[in-house]
Structures are given as structure tokens and as C-alpha cells.
Amino acid sequence: MITDFETIEIPKSRIATFDVMSFGLKKHHISALLEFDVTDIRKKLSEKRRSGINISFNAWIIKAISNALENHKEACSFLLGGKKLIIFEDINVSTIVEKEINGNRVPMPMVIEKSNRKTAEEISAEIDNSKNVVLKNEDIVLNRRSEKYENLYYMMPAFARRFFWRYLLSHPKTAFRKMGNVSVTSLGAAGKINGWFIHKAIHPISFGIGSVLRKPAVVKDEIQIRDILNMTILFDHDVIDGAPMVRFLKDLTAFIEKE
């Protein structure tokens, strides 16, 4: 006997996620599971908010990532033809903002262009403004008008949609313009998770921002309770090797923990 059930339509943005996951599984990723002490910066951000300067924690993290990548642009370069790298001067960050469409909360991608040239306050304002954008059913990326062919994408069968992604990833300049060269996904804001999540991505480098947890840590040879951020980073091993990865992580740690 069949019980009652309901059928709901999958948001367009989720259909693209299916295809991204398919291509992400083919990437030669190296996963780094890291912890960062963000106690001091969280205090500074709280002080700024009290003085009227509103910078969200996620915006600050995106800026810190952008600053570190500014010195290691090969980490977010695209592979071209299996033999060349295209290294862009700017950092374009793809991130996710949760929006409401027809009463349902839907994750929507947005691209923060030239994040390496913007302040954390400007990035924070850009994200906040995107939350106030009124969406239509046909919208697929925040703050951008959808081209006709992009909306046709969602009407195609799976094999045709994946041909689109194959084409996009083989044309780095188009990929950079459409989806950026860095991906940042934050699940920590949804609730406390005592661990890391291993995401999938098609960007040259991607960051999975987890929860900030209270943990014991050694500070100046003393054990203190600190605010520790869990983060997962996926490196595309086709564009960066182990030693440059470590140098990037050293700089990233400095930007996150010592600014």
C-alpha cells in the first residue's frame, strides 16, 4: 500500500550542483583538513561592529583567502590543454548565499569579482546586498542577468548539460568570467559541527568553511580555551605541487591568525 506523498520541483541551482559533483569526482584533488585559531580576529570583528563597522566573519575569511592567494596565484590557476597553466591577475570568488524562492530556501551562487582588490568591509556589503535581491524563477546566479543559453541549460538532458561543463572547463577565460577561480562554501553558519566536511568542486582551489568551536590550544606555552575554525581545502594537484601548497598554507595561516 502506497502512503501519501508529495512531489516538489528541484530548484534550478541544484541541477547544476549535480553536474558539478560529477566533474568534481574526476578532479585530482588533495584534501587538507585544517584548524585555525580565530579568537583574536573574532574579538576585533566584534569591536568593529560596536563601532559601526559591519564585517561578517565569512567576508573576512574570503578576504584573508584572497590576500594569501595574491602571493600564490598558481594555486588558483586553470589547466589548459594538459600542458599549460593560465594564471589570472585577479581573484574571483564563487560563494553561496541562501535565498528564498516561492517560500523555499535555496542556495544560490554568487561571484565576488576582484576580491583581492576589495576590503573585507566591501565584500561584506556585497554579500549583504545580495541577500536583499528579489529573485525570479529563471535566475541562476546572483547579481547577474542570465543569458538565454544559460537558461536553456536546465532544459537539456544530463549528457548535454555535462558537455557544457566540459566545454567551460576547457576554456579557462570563460570559466574565470562565469564561475571565478576560487570557491568558498560555508556550512558553519548553519550550526555547530564538531568535525570537517569533505566537499567536491571544479574550481582550481576550494574552501569548505566549517564551524568555530571552543577547544583547548597551546598559546605561549600555556593551555587556553580558544575559538578554533575547522576548514577543508581542496587543491587541484594538476595545477600545484606539494611544496607550493605548504607555502600557501603557511601564508594563509598568517593572514587568518595574525591580522
- Identify which of 200, 185, 192 has the alpha carbon closest to the alpha carbon of residue 234: 200
What domains does the chain contain, in order, with CATH numbers?
A: 12-258 (3.30.559.10)
- Strand blocks (E) in the chain: 29-37, 78-80, 84-86, 93-101, 104-112, 182-186, 205-219, 222-236
Distance CA 196, CA 177 (A): 30
Express each pLDDT in 108-124 by its tens digit. 788 999 999 999 999 99
Q: CA–CA distance from 220 to each of 24, 217, 224, 242 (Å)?
A: 41, 10, 9, 29
Residue where the block lists cell 566591501: 122
Cα 36 from chain centroid (whole Å): 17
Q: Could you tell me the pTM of the whole model?
A: 0.84
Q: Using the Cα atoms of residue 228, residue 231, residue 237 and residue 239 in order, give the sign of their dihedral.
A: negative
pLDDT for res 134:
58
Degrees, nearest 5: CA angle 175-180-184: 135
Express each pLDDT in 118-174 by its tens digit. 999 999 999 988 877 655 544 445 445 555 556 677 777 877 888 888 888 888 999
